[in-house]
Amino acid sequence: MTIAALDDKIQAAGGPVGMLCHAPSCPCQCLIRAEFANWRDEQEAWRCGAMLFDQSFHMTDFYVEGSDTRRLCEFLEIRCRMDSRQDPADRRRVLVMMQ
């Protein structure tokens, strides 16, 4: 019996994700849903949509401007948490999505 190398298994499955999701020894189902999109839909989503990334570890300010700013902020709430022993400069700000 010949044991296949890892690179051979990855190439045979079409990539590492395919190899892990369709492994015969895995009794569970793959939790990653298949997504199908075309280039035009992706471009329209980037042009017409908005994405808020969590970059609070290095960006301290967040600016929003435009005609729908008020409508966006109706769904957002910023809460500042600070206990009495903490320096005011070290406040933690939490962005909470409201519906």
Q: Which helix (H) or strand (E) holds 70?
A: helix 69-73
Q: Rounded mean pLDDT of 4-12? A: 86
How confident is the model at residue 47, as a pLDDT?
83
Is a pLDDT exceeding 60 seen at residue 10? yes
Band (pLDDT 50/70/90 cuts) for residue 69 is confident
Give the pair of three-digit tokens for residue 25.
Answer: 């020894």
Band (pLDDT 50/70/90 cuts) for residue 99 is very low
* Percent above pLDDT 90 for the chain: 0
Give the pair of three-digit tokens for residue 90.
Answer: 């070290």
Q: Rounded mean pLDDT of 59-75? A: 74
